[in-house]
Structure 1
Amino acid sequence: MKNIFNFPPFLNDQELFETIISNQNIKIERIISTGQTTPQDTWYDQEQDEWVILLQGEAILSYENGSQLNLKAGDYLLIQSHQKHRIDYTSNNPPCIWLAIHGNLN
């Protein structure tokens, strides 16, 4: 048994991607962010949909069209495939704990 809120104490200023379940149709992962952001002028353009919930912390997600979402614990959203987006802020105290589900979700 594992706990979604437990993470290694040696994490420091690193970002952790941990696959929980993965097969040909779906991938579920836990992401722990400690202040990381998407590099400037870079956009995620994913082949699959991504449903994500922020379980802890705060974050800012931006879309290529200029809109932004200020996320706090409990907020979730669906990012459709090829919807260009980036992360412009993640808190490090507390760290962001994300649960992401990737797949054909529409």
Structure 2
Amino acid sequence: MDGLPANLLTDLPPAGPEEVFTRLLAATGLVVERIVSTGQASPPGFFYDQPQDEWVLVLSGTAELRFADEAAPRRLGPGDHLLIPARRRHRVERTDRDPPTIWLALHLGPEQAEPPAQPASPVSA
């Protein structure tokens, strides 16, 4: 596809205040995207509550993802993946800035006209 990276670990956007989402594929019930995080985290007190399942895989860097029903965040590194069931409240506690955290995300379900909104804020060092 024109304009899409041929390699998910190259042609990275420069670090900025926002995560960068690149839609790689969209089909009925499926959106696949690359997410490049450079130190962003969910805003304080914010939890995602998505109407669809989401499967994430960390390709590079590290991140911490916390579920509302768990006391401690889960640390994810290269090769780590997990399924976030629909309506399971979760947040991104932390991502690496340099090197960036690169995610592959699959949004699964009938409500995939658009990927879910992704609020994130930079983490202060």
List alignment gaps of at least 5 residues for structure 1: none
Structure 1: distance between partners of 2:32 and 2:79: 17
Query: How high is the TM-score relative to the length of structure 1?
Result: 0.91
Which residue of 84, 91, 95 maps to 1:86? 91
The match for 2:100 is 95
**Shift of residue 6 of structure 1?**
1.2
**Shift of residue 56 of structure 1?**
0.2
| Pairing of 1:64-83 with structure 2 (within 5 A) | 64-65=68-69, 66-83=71-88
Structure 1: distance between partners of 2:68 and 2:12: 34
The match for 1:18 is 22
CA RMSD, Structure 1 to Structure 2 (Å): 1.3
Structure 1: distance between partners of 2:68 and 2:53: 16
Work out the number of aligned pairs and report it.
103
**Shift of residue 15 of structure 1?**
1.3
Structure 1: distance between partners of 2:85 and 2:97: 27
Which residue of 30, 33, 38 maps to 1:29? 33
Moved segments of 4+, more than 6 Å = none
List alignment gaps of at least 5 residues for structure 2: 110-125
Query: How high is the TM-score relative to the length of structure 2?
Result: 0.77
- Which amino acid is 1:12 matched to? A
Native 8 Å contact 2:12 2:36 kept in 1: no
Structure 1: distance between partners of 2:30 and 2:63: 24
Give a deviation string over 1:25-82, Cα, whole Å, max 9, x none.
Answer: 1000000000000001110011110011000001000010224201111100000000
- Which amino acid is 1:96 matched to? T
Structure 1: distance between partners of 2:92 and 2:51: 18
Give a deviation string over 1:6-29, Cα, whole Å, max 9, x none.
Answer: 1345x2224110000012210000
- Which amino acid is 2:42 matched to? T
